[in-house]
A and B are shown apart, each in its own frame.
Chain A
Amino acid sequence: MVTQNRVPAPRPLSCPNCGGRIELRGFAHTRTAVCIQCCTVLDTSTPELRILQRFDEAMRVRPLIPLGTRGTLQGKKWEVIGFQVRAIRVDGVPYSWHEYLLFNPYAGFRYLTHYDGHWNFVSTVRALPAFTSFRGRKAAVLEGRTYRHFQTATATTTFVMGEFPWAVRVGETVTAEDYIAPPWILSSESDGKEINWSRGIYLTGAEIWKAFSLPGSPPQAQGVYANQPNPYADGMRRAWRTFAVLALLWVAALAAHWALSSNRELFRGSYHFAANTPGEHSLVTNVFTVPGDGNVEVQIRTDLDNNWAYFHLALLAEDGSRGFDFGREVSYYHGRDSDGSWSEGRRSAAATLARVPAGRYYLRIEPEMDAQASFGSPAGMSMNYEIIVRHDTPRPWLFLLALPLLLIPAVVRSFKAIGMETARWSESDYGTSVGISGDEE
């Protein structure tokens, strides 16, 4: 029998370059190991530990999660066995991120990526992604989820440490593409010969610190990461749902208000006014009864034509106990010029007295028209008009005022959510904050 029931822990290697001790954790999977002391990359699949590469120790980067640390992610235990730093250049500015190789002898390999306080737990993808487009941009579909293209860049490995089940080298480059569907990110890496796909899920530093029981606190997340979930998106959706409910209630309340307003006509009278008639121009109407507390609307309808009038009005209690003074201007002009026909103003006007106590009232009406024009015109200024008084008319303006107030929370939350999306996409190939397009291909 060749297989052993119990696989012994791998024996540490001795570095052929510096003689240093190299811990191994990946059992027979390991094909490349890096001497932690002298940064020599070794081929562990050869008995003599062929030296693949030596690179500058000055490049040394300390992983935040030390090699050999174990932690639990998605219900499985993982050990950090490898670490590499990779970099891309955007507009000449290098951006580098860290990649931890995680290993479990039963479940295999996973990756943990870290950039500026943002983390992703990454697995290899076995299904083929299908390509499509989303709002005119490149997108990929994997297992029913659409990922929008975010960035294409050339990624270079700048530092390696620990062990890997494949041959790693500092200086290796791949074409890396990222597609996002927060909290998911779908990435491809192509070396020109083959493409490998992986899928990551966004994790916070706090989740990583807890999973690996790390001391201290994780680095603060900077900015918005490509597949960072938008915390305002839920708030925005909730706010719009609330708004929809309130808007329905609003419509119902408005309809009820309309239905419950009696809108009863209390008085109607027709009159003629001529400015040139000498004497007092005021008149009083018959007495009418305002049946209950509530608003009273006075409507004025005229036959004014390219003219104006002003109505001094007073609603007076028959017993003289109270009176409401008010006035309305009515003007209506129309004509035709080079732009076609035009009109301005209306022939009618209305005034509403918000709270009139029940009782017997009459109106005093005193119209006024352009005195200068009246003198200049042979017939003088004149008009016919009608006064209509109604009680308890519907007043929708309060409702109209309420509608924008109801909108405020939804609009505020939408602005926050959109702001975050703008920040996210500004870092992508489609961003506007980047001045010059710096595609390195």
Chain B
Amino acid sequence: MTKRVVITGLGVVSPNGADIAQFSHAIRNGLSGIKHDPQLEQLLFSCHVAGKPVIEETRLPQYFTELEIRNLESTGIVYGVIAGMDAWHDAGLLPAPAEIPDWDSGTVFGTGTSGIDKFRGAIYKLDNLQIRKLGSTVVAQTMASGVSALLAGKLGLGNQVTTNSSACATGTESILMAYERIKSGQAIRMLAGSTSDSGPYIWAGFDAMKVCTYKHNETPEKASRPMSASASGFVPGSGAGAMVLESLDSALSRGVKIYAEILGGHLNSGGQRGTGTMTAPNPQAVQRCIVSALKSSGIRPDEVDLINGHLTATSKDPLEIQNWVTALGRSGKDFPYINSVKGMIGHCISASGSIECVASVLQLSEGFIFPNINCEDLHPEIEMLIDQECIPRVSLEKKPAILIKASFGFGDVNACLLLKKYNHG
């Protein structure tokens, strides 16, 4: 019994907007959330800019109990719970009653590492022979599944509750995994999303690898430059994105707003073979992932209106465009529109896929194409492949119907989703 799957709720905590209304306004208007980060400068990072969500203190008690707020140091868990609860509420859903779990609803909520600040504090205590002072909060805040476990408890989810992890492909993968569970009839509703902690202990490894930019420390809003000739590495970011996926039958019977339909998708890996490595994608795998996603969705390449790329603002952007050109068999003026939210929010690591999927769904449901900020100087290798017009630098009042979203991650892993505008009535 194959079910159609739709999106009925959205939640987001992003560097340029900590709820759906703010985020939608920000991406439509090309507003950057990248700021100077004094802590990174103090710690002698090469990159002194970052994209961090701003959460008002007064907001926390709406999501966490007084007890949970005490000793809460896992920013990833804070972002994930806020985005997840917001998505649930947005879908018009309530937590399960006190005694019985909601057997039909579950969650796939991914992360790279959650609670790294908490973990650091615990390690210091332990090394000072103070293990007994750790208290009860370390495990729940540092286990990878802490975020999905907390959400499940707050909402009473009784179906599958898990956390996936596939580097920067995590968020797109979580949505696809949740989609498959509903499609196969094993769940009616799934909360899907991903999160990423803020801070130097998450970002340091990337800075050390020199994949983050250090050339725009004085101009934070100009620092993240996907597809630009002067792109010099990504800007680290953090946050969370979430969506409620639901069978079409269930959504119709509840009479709720449907943001978009998920038509299909694909997950694969390049196996770190050929030119694929831990850090570089195998182009054949990327192309195969895109082609398989189209095939599973029953969509022809010429039907795609808009691509939301991975496009991190590193030297790999031209290779990604080449992969899209090859996989879709479209180039020059025939290429679809393409954009990247990373120009505005940086690369939110394990949260990037879910935040960008939320941005993708907003474009379909509200009917616009957000601009690629900081791409005034288009990379010449990209300009040889596709027409300038395909890369909007200002917001377009167009109504895309079919959007393809891909995320690629360390370990040579790929995730690709096909989304369609849902027409009510």
Partners in one complex: no
Listed in ascending order, the chain A residues whose CB lies under 8 Å from chain B are none
